[in-house]
Amino acid sequence: MNIKSTCLFALFLCLGLQVFAQEEQHDLTIQVSIDETLHESFKSNGRLFVFLTQNAKLEPRKQIWPNPYNKTYVFARNIDNFPAKKTIELSGKDQWTKTPDWDLNAIPEGTYYVQVVWDQDTQESRIDAPGNLFASKQEILIDGKKTLEFNLDQKNEAREIKAHHLSKLIDLKSDTLSAWWGKEMTLKASVLLPHNYDNTKAYPIRYNVAGYGGRYTRIDRLITYDKFMKWWDSNESPQIITVFLDGEGPFGDSYQMDSENSGPYGYSLINEFIPHIESKFRGTDTPMTRFVDGCSTGGWVSLGLQLYYPDVFNGVYSYSPDAIDFENYQLINIYKEKQAFKNEVGYLRPIMRDTNGEPLLSMKEFIAYENVFGSSDSYLDSGGQFSAHTALYSPKGDNGLPMPMFDPYTGVINPEVAKSWEKYDFKKYAETNWSVLGPKIQGKIYIWMGDMDHFYLNTGTRGFGDFLESTSNPKSDAIIEFTPMEGHCSLYSHKKVLLQMQERIDFLNK
């Protein structure tokens, strides 16, 4: 065989291998139909999600946070005019926003558990909203081309709290938010009354803020927790009313604060919701025995409510708060750095670690996950953590979405938007307003943080604590506790916080 023949043979062999490789691609085709029993409640415009995991124990559709230990791969795309009575067919050749590096037509071999969700709800920010449709998960072996058929035959039901004689539901139309949005907006909460509750007496009150996105229905976890309720029904428990605020907002968690994007949630809470709740249950409206607490997002919100409304609350118990100093926004100094995804030496910036310090998840991976859940194909309306941060801290953009502090795909920081975040940088806020704020928060600040916080939130708390140590006129008496080798929210409990509040009540009554 001459050189020319050898080259031609090599070329044909190469082309043949390419054709063979194309034939062996693990292409997944998905056919989706709507069960006829749901045609009446079906909406033709929405966002379709495909979840894949290799963990048989998981319900794929519930994996709305990236989990480094049990990875779930998510694909999503908007669909207009989905015909209720016809089957649609989608494949990896279609345009998807996705979390993995691979596509649906190049899935690595293995066994997967696959589930499809149709997000048709426009009232809530996350895909677990009532009215959204889903199909049961299917087990598949990826070893070649596959076609899966999904019938969307299940629907998320309306939320409700479990019946209990000490549990109450509050549902109030907010005139303030309704006027701001031009449509009816409601605020929800659940109330846990103390044992032997007497509606003729006055009670201290606790406003509890959940971790990210926590709903008012979380009261169910307490009233069905026998150990807690046994204590709560005893004479050892404090006679304090607990209000579980709702974390839902238009772009994810509302953070219970005023926002250029979500509206006046702080004003509505302070001037509408709290007076309404206390007129029904508390028997008094004194701020002397009104407290606020929470962990994680709840830690940030509770501290923010005490700082921005210092005359309304008489004590905050903030555990593992989200970043309260934006020079330490986790590991990012948003005012100086140019990149959110990489540090100054070009290394992927971690956003999560274990308590031994081992990085588990990068900022870039986390944002890629949120990008999938946003109908804008970005984290800006994902309903996730950074969606809510951006909605709260940023100005409104020309497209109706919050202006991104960093680009959803490159991580490049916009310094002008970063500057606008200063209004909710607690360290800067306290520095600027200390002469007025300082006297009003004396004796009211308790913050706990694990020094190996899973999300590097100890850095921001250190920065805020350093400022408080430097104060004068007055010298801050805030208590900030750091526990070595403890992680995120690891020492938080409802019982512990209630007892802390009772200690303060006892002190105030001396």
pLDDT (tens digit, 9 = 90+) per residue, 435-451? 999 999 999 999 999 99
Same domain, 139 and 198: no
Same domain, 138 and 171: no
CA distance 487 to 224: 26
Same domain, 414 and 403: yes
Same domain, 408 and 495: no
> Among 18-22, 170-174, 426-430, where is mean pLDDT lowest?
18-22
In the prediction, which pLDDT does 277 show? 98
Which residues lie below 8 Å from residue 59, measured CB to CB, with a gap of 6+? 115, 137
CA distance 169 to 183: 22
In a domain? residue 8 = no
Neighbours of 161 (CB within 10 A): 19
Same domain, 121 and 208: no
Measure Cα distances from 400 to 186, 380, 393, 394, 482 in Å.
22, 10, 15, 12, 41
Mean pLDDT of 327-336: 98
**CB crowding 366-382: b at 16 or more within 10 Å, else e:** bbbbbbbbbbbbbbbbb
List, in sequence order, every residue forming a beta bridge with 294; answer none if it has no partner: 209, 318
Task: Find tokens 């990008």 and name the residue.
Answer: 371
Radius of gyration of the chain (CA): 26
In a domain? residue 4 = no
Same domain, 363 and 385: yes
The three-state DSSP-derived secondary structure of 135-198 is CCCEEEEECCCEEEEEEECEECCCCCCCCCCCEEEEEEECHHHHHHHCCCCEEEEEEECCCCCC
**What are the start-end ranges of the H helices in 172-318?**
175-181, 219-223, 226-232, 265-268, 274-281, 297-308
Same domain, 279 and 175: yes
User: What pLDDT digit, counting tens, does each position of 287-307 carry?
Assistant: 999 999 999 999 999 999 999
Same domain, 107 and 142: yes
> Among 18-22, 77-81, 471-475, where is mean pLDDT lowest?
18-22
In a domain? residue 199 = yes
In a domain? residue 2 = no
User: What pLDDT digit, counting tens, does each position of 106-146 carry?
Assistant: 999 999 999 999 999 999 999 999 999 999 999 999 988 88
Residue length, the chain? 510
In a domain? residue 5 = no
Same domain, 317 and 429: yes
Neighbours of 385 (CB within 10 A): 22
CB 417 within 8 A of CB 405: yes
User: What pLDDT digit, counting tens, does each position of 457-481 carry?
Assistant: 999 999 999 999 999 999 999 999 9
Same domain, 313 and 331: no
In a domain? residue 6 = no
Q: Total structural domains in the chain?
A: 3
Same domain, 224 and 367: no
In a domain? residue 46 = yes
Kindly report the CATH number assigned to the domain that includes residue 467: 3.40.50.1820
pTM of the full predicted structure?
Answer: 0.93
CA distance 491 to 303: 17
In the prediction, which pLDDT does 20 show? 36
Q: Of the residues 374, 403, 422, which one is the last residue of a structural domain?
A: 422
CB 368 within 8 A of CB 99: yes
Same domain, 487 and 382: no
> Among 22-36, 146-160, 300-314, 468-482, where is mean pLDDT lowest?
22-36
Kindly report the CATH number assigned to the domain that includes residue 93: 2.60.40.1120
In the prediction, which pLDDT does 28 show? 86
Q: Percent of the chain having pLDDT more than 90?
A: 92
Neighbours of 406 (CB within 10 A): 24
In a domain? residue 283 = yes
For residue 12, pLDDT over 70 is answered with no
Q: Of the residues 119, 134, 155, which one is the last residue of a structural domain?
A: 155
In which band, very low, low, confident or very high, does the pLDDT at 17 lie, cut at 50, 70 and 90?
very low
Question: Taking the C-alpha atoms of 399, 401, 404 and 410 in order, what is their torsion angle to the nearest 10 degrees?
Answer: -70
Domain range for 93: 22-155
Q: Of the residues 134, 155, 176, which one is the last residue of a structural domain?
A: 155
